Amino acid sequence: MSDRDKIIDKIKKCLALSASSNEHEAEAALRQAMKLMELHGITELDVLAAEAVEAAAKAGASMKPANWEAMLAAKIGDAFGCRVLFSCNYGRPGNWLFIGLDPAPEIAQYAFSTLLRQAKSARQAHIKGPLKRCKPATKTRRADLFSDGWVHSVTGKINTFAGTPEHDKAVSAFLAKKYPDRGSLKSRNRNAGRRLSDLEHGDYFSGRSQGKDAQLNHGVNGAPERQALGKL
């Protein structure tokens, strides 16, 4: 913990005491908090943002992730009360950033990494099976439909695994401090505006069927089972 973090922690404790039913204690704590903030140039936004943390999960793309992967990240973020950002990493896989109150981001990162690995495995099996004779572009596009269905199918599992309330003020303050210039993510949807054939509808529903086999496991005392992560 940096010296600044320690000071912010002291300020937070003083602000907590300022809610005391003891009027004199509350006034003294508030004065101490205001003094520390003025002395060290710390704002209310700094204090609020310090309540939030972030956890990064490796993405499957460096610049523009597939729509199904972005949808998976968004659903996990919603379930855990986290805001989700995509961080570009030119030439290498980017990162999905889950931002919320501890321990939600870490568990969201675990859930995303675990499900992305399973989604990729199911996708490859579908490509090597029903799609093995397709042209490369068709193979990728139809595999996207399969992955869309897979992600839709695991939504219920994500919500059951989660159950963390959102703390939007702290998260918004964190984003304002650390990522003030963030933009809107444009994911890659290879099937946008297309009229799907029966075979393509079959890819989607096959993904929904196989997504039912996805697994997320709680470890001891509700902590994520880190041994289940592995490499993406």
| Residue pLDDT tens, the chain, 232 long | 688 888 988 888 888 888 888 888 888 888 888 888 888 998 888 887 888 889 999 999 888 899 999 999 999 998 888 999 999 877 788 999 999 988 889 999 999 999 999 999 999 999 999 999 999 999 999 999 999 999 999 887 787 776 545 567 777 878 887 888 787 777 888 888 888 888 888 888 888 888 888 887 765 344 444 333 333 2
Instruction: Work out the end-to-end distance of the chain between its first and last CA atoms, rounded to an integer number of angstroms.
Output: 30
Contacts 24+ apart (CB under 8 A), 36-42: 36/7, 36/10, 36/11, 37/11, 40/4, 40/7, 42/4, 42/7, 42/8, 42/11
Residues in a beta bridge with 95: 58, 87
For residue 66, list its beta bridge partners: 188
pLDDT given for residue 136 in this prediction: 93
pTM over 0.75: no
Residues 6+ away with beta carbon under 8 Å from 174: 49, 51, 52, 53, 54, 99
Query: Crossing angle, helix 3-17 and helix 23-40, to 10 degrees?
Result: 160
Residue 117's H or E segment, with its range, is helix 104-128
Give the per-residue pLDDT at 167.
61
Q: Could you identify the residue written with the tokens 């972030």?
A: 54
Residues sharing a CB contact under 8 Å with residue 35, sequence separation 6 or more, in sequence order: none
